[in-house]
Chain A
């Protein structure tokens, strides 16, 4: 296992998780990486660690360039276990002189790992001298945890951005210019949609504040996926676009079905949306993953939800995805509800309340079918699609 040189004194010493397919409930069909970085300054410094299981891989890479016991400083930019899980073992083996984290990072690492070692809190604007270079810290609260932090290596101009600007993509190629955009762009979108989206307003404010600092990073080095060296501004610009959540002519129809009624209704809604000029993604939860739905919703202006009723509750797979989507707080959505029931329509009607709670604008009343949809109900579904398409078009071209 070799470290990979990324600039004069900085090496990538992370790990590649080729086979992870479920990252805490986020589907990762292309695996991921846990990036850690070693700075060979006069006071050698390790930025972040890796998931506990990958600790031996990180240490092997460190040992390929230096004796780990010579590392004097460890910086922990994020308390989540995929970056801090290796910290206790690293501290034990390396015996660093100093460990730094954000104020909230210290609290969260204490609660997460119950360590016996001391961690020094730093805040935005604090700097540490690592001998021959300086690291300055920028707290990135709620991007995406309260403890999240950026570290900027001043002379080498490298911005260690932790989870921000990353993606779940296991790749042997460490830089943006070596990876195919057709592969990375969907993964970068999916990461934003599933991890950063609820904090989009904070992201916009944060990015504006960072711009005022006049940093000119030649490399942006996130903790997942590859590093941005060819065009670091590319991912920053994408973040600004995604965070703005401008309505677009795309609608996601997410539903499940027991005996085909809701499925058929969804097809008619999709037909109406298409006739209204929308791009449509029709996704059955009998096969689609919640994180794929979140991904498709990132560039959408509408959301239609459809559920059958079972024992006076909505179908459980829909409860799953609706719970997940509500937490992601996607803005600027026009919505609709469809569903089928045998004898109790209340659970379908209650989905209108879900849309309201999720701040989705209900375009038209709920369309429901008792057992199987009649031709009239199916026509109402098509009309629902047309109405949503019209409202989205009006929002885009007022």
Chain B
């Protein structure tokens, strides 16, 4: 499932991952560590919600 940042609108797509910060395509949201931050606006995972 994709997750959207409620602050800036960035979408975490597991198919894409966040390779710039060491998370390869295929990394599930659940496997992203708790100290990961939104690559766009810098907020934590707690400010993301599942995309409808």
A318→B37 CA distance, assembly (Å): 25
Prevailing SS type, chain A contact patch: loop
**Cβ-closest chain B residue relative to A139:** B9
Complex CA distance for A146 and B9, rounded to whole angstroms: 8
A259 to B19, CA, bound (A): 42
Flag if B8 contacts A141 (CB, 8 Å): yes
Contact A359 B40 (CB under 8 A): no
In contact, A141 and B9 (Cβ under 8 angstroms): yes
Interface string of B37-52 (1 = CB under 8 A from A): 0001100000000000
The number of chain B residues touching the other chain, given as a range, is under 10
Which residues of A sit under 8 angstroms from B8, Cβ to Cβ?
141-142, 146
With both chains docked as a complex, state the minimum distance between the C-beta of B21 and any C-beta of chain A, in angstroms: 9
Contact string against A for B residues 14-52, beta-carbon threshold 8 Å, 1 for contact and 0 otherwise: 000000100000000000000000001100000000000
Tell me whether B20 and A142 are in contact (CB under 8 A).
no
| B7 at interface by CB-CB < 8 Å | yes
What are 14 A-B contacts with C-beta separation under 8 Å? A104-B7, A141-B8, A141-B9, A142-B8, A142-B9, A142-B40, A142-B41, A146-B7, A146-B8, A146-B9, A146-B41, A199-B40, A202-B40, A359-B20
Cα of A202 to Cα of B9 in the assembled complex, Å: 10
Q: Whose C-beta in chain B lies nearest to the C-beta of A108?
A: B7
CA distance A359 to B18 in the complex (A): 14
Contacting residues, chain A, for B40 (C-beta < 8 A): 142, 199, 202
CA of A142 to CA of B10, assembled, Å: 10
Residues of B within 8 A of A (CB): 7-9, 20, 40-41
Apart from the given pairs A142-B40, A199-B40, 12 other A-B contacts in the complex at a CB distance below 8 Å = A104-B7, A141-B8, A141-B9, A142-B8, A142-B9, A142-B41, A146-B7, A146-B8, A146-B9, A146-B41, A202-B40, A359-B20
Residues of B within 8 A of A142 (CB): 8-9, 40-41
**Across-interface contacts of B20 in A (CB, < 8 A):** 359
In the complex, residue of chain B having the shortest beta-carbon distance to the beta carbon of A104: B7
Q: How far is the CB of A205 from chain B (nearest CB, A)?
A: 11
CB-CB under 8 A from A199, the residues of chain B are: 40
**In angstroms, how far is the closest chain A Cβ from the Cβ of B7?**
5
A81–B41 Cα distance when bound, in Å, is: 19
Give, as a whole number of angstroms, the nearest-CB distance from B33 to chain A.
Answer: 16
The complex places the Cα of A104 from the Cα of B40 at a distance, in Å, of 16
A164 nearest CB across to chain B (Å): 15
Cα distance, A141 to B9, chains bound together (Å): 8
* A198 nearest in chain B by CB position: B40
Cα A104 to Cα B5 in complex, Å, equals 12
CB of B11, distance to nearest CB on chain A (Å) = 12
A202 to B38, CA, bound (A): 14
CB distance from B49 to the nearest CB of A (A): 14
A95-106 interface code vs B (CB 8 A; 1 in, 0 out): 000000000100
**How distant is B43 from chain A, measured CB to nearest CB, in Å?**
10
Closest to A329 in B: B39
- Point out the residues of chain B lying under 8 angstroms from A141, CB to CB: 8-9
The CA of A142 and the CA of B39, in the complex, are separated in Å by 12
Cα distance A104–B7 in the bound complex, in angstroms: 8
| Shortest Cβ gap from B39 to chain A (Å) | 9
Q: B40 to nearest A CB, angstroms?
A: 6
A199 to B, closest residue via Cβ: B40
What CA separation (Å) do A104 and B43 show in the bound complex? 15
Nearest-neighbor residue (CB-CB) of A142 within chain B? B8
Question: CB-CB contacts of A145-185 with B at 8 A, as 1s and 0s?
Answer: 01000000000000000000000000000000000000000
Tell me the minimal C-beta distance from A201 to chain B in angstroms. 8
